[in-house]
Amino acid sequence: MGWLSRFALIVPILFIFSCDKRQSAKSTGSLHGMKVYFSQSETRKKYQNDFLKLAADLKTVGVNTIFTTVYEGRKAYYPSRVMHSSEPKLNLIEMRDVMKQNDIRFAAICQIFYDPDIVLNRSDLIPVDSHGNNVYVDWQKMVCPTDKEYRQYKLSVVKEVAKKFRPDILCLDFVRYPTTWELVLPNEKPDQIRDFCFCNRCLLSFTQKYSLDFPDSLIETAQKAAWILENHGEQWTAWKVENITRFVKSVRLAVERIDPNIKILVHTVPWSSEQFDQAILRIAGQDVKALTPYVDYFSPMIYHKMIGQDAEFIHDLTAELYETTRKPILPSIQIEASNEFQDYTSNEFEQALIYALMTPSVGAVAFNWGNLIQIGTNESDRQARRLVLQKVFQ
């Protein structure tokens, strides 16, 4: 067979392979998700009294699953007996019913170790880094994950959400140790990422678990942290991982007793297993292999422009997670640039969405609907991004 004949055979094979990789983008079984936040004023103004319109608008762009926070801080967006207060003009249980009637699946996002309200009254929950610093430097007011009372409170909230909403998916957000991964670029030095938590409660709990005593010469928190990381680093990472895994396990067991049909999803930081010296374990405390028995979906938040990666990284990380867990992976991607200094065209958004839907992904979640309804922004650009969703999702 001549080279021309062989080439003629190879080209169709390559074409079929290429089409197969994009096939999941058009698969009718794919989960096409959209994050919708009623903490955003424009979203609330437009839809809080018209959930039918929201359902219609989402279906127009091919969305079949809505992801939404059902509480923010200590305020519930439904009648709650567990949380500090409920929003009187917003009941997302009604929205859940409307979505069900319109064949849109409902994913309830539960923020776990992020709670900007509670730290106003409980300073002991403010996490302390390895330098003894407990000052928040950005919007992410996360709490120390080891306080038993707080963990029980958040488990009670999750159980209430499961009972009242009966969501198709219950999403655990901020179920990790504090880290602002959105600000960590690929060239970041591992030791420059803040490492939590070294508060007195954590130091006591860790040393008691492993029967350790600090040398008498160590007085300051930073000294004790340095001693732990230098002499017991592996144990420290294992202890952090155990604290996160145990909470997720407790959620799984509690939710199964309420309704075994509810799926559990965990949002993971968008770091590969070896990136930043295994920071997903060492810093975030998220061990996807350890979490696997208790999770139905993993959803890495791969806002690639935000973290300085190219679009192909979305597929690469999705594939790695699947190889590690053999669980359905739902990458979450950004619709718009995170700030005015980023160049993120609608064509790039389309490319990101296609990478997100490639095998072995079981779908994709777009972040977030507010980007597509903002008043006073470039309407033609927003329309272009809506057309991307229609083209790829439908």
DSSP string, 312-357: HHHHHHHHHHHHHH-S-B--EEESS-SSTT----HHHHHHHHHHHH
Global confidence as pTM: 0.92
- Angle of the 3-26 helix axis to the 346-357 helix axis, nearest 10: 90
Pick the CATH number of 25-123+141-191+240-393 from 3.30.830.10, 3.20.20.80, 3.30.110.40, 3.30.200.20: 3.20.20.80
Residue type, 210: Y
| Cα Rg of the chain, angstroms | 22
pLDDT tens sequence across 114-135: 999 999 999 999 999 999 999 9
pLDDT tens sequence across 196-221: 999 999 999 999 999 999 999 999 99
All residues at 6 or more sequence positions from 63 whose CB lies less than 8 Å from its CB, including other chains: 32, 33, 34, 104, 366, 389, 393
The backbone torsions φ and ψ at residue 361, rounded to the nearest 5 degrees and listed phi first, read: -60, 150
The pLDDT value recorded for residue 375 is: 60
Residue 95 carries which DSSP code? H
Q: Peptide bond preceding 293: is omega within 30 degrees of 0, i.e. cis?
A: no
The pLDDT value recorded for residue 341 is: 52
All residues at 6 or more sequence positions from 42 whose CB lies less than 8 Å from its CB, including other chains: 370, 373, 374, 375
**Residue 246: enclosing H or E segment and its boundaries?**
helix 233-258
What number of other Cβ atoms are within 10 A of residue 301's Cβ? 20
What number of other Cβ atoms are within 10 A of residue 231's Cβ? 11
Sketch the domain layout of the chain as residue ranges. Answer: 25-123+141-191+240-393
Q: Decide: helix, strand or coil at residue 68.
A: strand
pLDDT tens sequence across 288-340: 999 999 999 999 999 999 999 999 999 999 999 999 999 999 999 999 877 65
**Chain position carrying tokens 């991307």:** 388
Q: What percent of the chain has pLDDT over 90?
A: 87
pLDDT tens sequence across 65-100: 999 999 999 999 999 999 999 999 999 999 999 999
